[in-house]
Amino acid sequence: MLGQTYEGQDCSAARALELVGERWSLLIIRDAVFRGTTRFADFQRSLGLATNVLSARLDRFVAAGLMERRPLTNSKYDEYVVTEMGLALKPVVIALTHWGHHWAGGPPGVFKHADCGGPVEQQLVCTRCGESVAPDEVTGQRGPSDPKQDPVRAA
Amino acid sequence: MLGQTYEGQDCSAARALELVGERWSLLIIRDAVFRGTTRFADFQRSLGLATNVLSARLDRFVAAGLMERRPLTNSKYDEYVVTEMGLALKPVVIALTHWGHHWAGGPPGVFKHADCGGPVEQQLVCTRCGESVAPDEVTGQRGPSDPKQDPVRAA
């Protein structure tokens, strides 16, 4: 997966962005994971992007395992069904939505708990002390890298 | 802020991506919010990207309020200091890192609670029932839009 835009970045955020960091990618994923979109024409209508770009993104998602391409019954078209790997991007979309609402003037995202219908929030939690942690109380550092995956940077 | 790539997308994730969705943007933010990077040369060294691209990204962040450009004492260079608006992107970087570790073979992110040093996790929590919510138990829909901000799409 590496060897493209972010070659040399031994970081999981960079690896994620290799797969979903291109223009439109995360909005296609948003439609797939939260609006249940599967058809090319529905993605196109929702996003209004050029069909060649949409086609390239969907093909890339299929190749990477984020979506599966399946034939539609009674249609000459296929559908693009998001996989578990794609569904796991929900927290990324939620985090972007939250930030875009608070800092970029967008509408609030409405995320709900399927079981009880209550509003769902994203929280940072310390697994040692159990406290809810504000963003300015989180520090980050590189994790241990896997030398097999990136021998140059791990040296 | 709109009127660029994602014009017509009345969605906070799209608004966020207008500001931080370009190539390299979120990795520059990662360096700023988790590695404390402020100098042009340090961003450049860490990321290895073309100086004209880095310069364009930093200027954009300053214009949008994500960073402040400040003169450095005893230097002809300025530094780029991330603002509260920029620091609030930590959950986005954490979500991408988590996904990139689990699904794209990247190293684990090491995020810690500044107070106690314990590991910090991102969780989805239902504010009605108090349960921790798995990603496949979260549904999403458009929030109420502000017609002043996007009259065409809100019609």
Q: What is the ipTM of this complex?
A: 0.89
Tell me the pLDDT tens digit for each residue of B87-118.
Answer: 999 999 999 999 999 999 999 888 999 999 99
Distance from CA of B65 to the nearest CA of A (A): 10
Contact B9 A47 (CB under 8 A): yes
* Residue B35 three-state SS: coil
Q: Which residues of A touch B90 (CB under 8 A)?
A: 124, 135, 138, 140
Distance from CA of B50 to the nearest CA of A (A): 12
Contact A110 B140 (CB under 8 A): yes
pLDDT of residue A8: 75
The H or E element containing residue B86 is helix B84-87
Task: Enter the DSSP assignment of B143.
Answer: P
Q: How far apart are CA A138 and CA A53, in angstroms?
A: 37
Smallest Cβ–Cβ distance between B113 and the set A47, A97, A126 belongs to A126
Where is mean pLDDT largest: B9-18, B90-99, B130-139? B90-99
The CA R_g of chain A, rounded to the nearest whole Å, is: 18
Going by pLDDT thresholds of 50, 70 and 90, the confidence category of residue A144 is low
Contact A13 B23 (CB under 8 A): no
Q: Which residue of A has its CA nearest to B86?
A: A103
Q: Which residues of A touch B35 (CB under 8 A)?
A: 140-141
Smallest Cβ–Cβ distance between A90 and the set B17, B33, B135 belongs to B135
Residue A145 pLDDT greater than 80, yes or no: no
- End-to-end CA separation in angstroms for chain B: 20
Task: Enter the DSSP assignment of A109.
Answer: P
pLDDT of residue A9: 81
Q: Which residue of A has its CA nearest to B89?
A: A99
The proportion of chain B whose per-residue pLDDT surpasses 70, expressed as a percent, equals: 88
Q: Which residues of B touch A103 (CB under 8 A)?
A: 16, 85, 88
Q: Which residues of A touch B109 (CB under 8 A)?
A: 12-13, 140, 143
Distance from CA of B56 to the nearest CA of A (A): 17
Query: pLDDT averaged over chain B?
Result: 88
Q: How far apart are CA A109 and CA A96, in angstroms?
A: 10
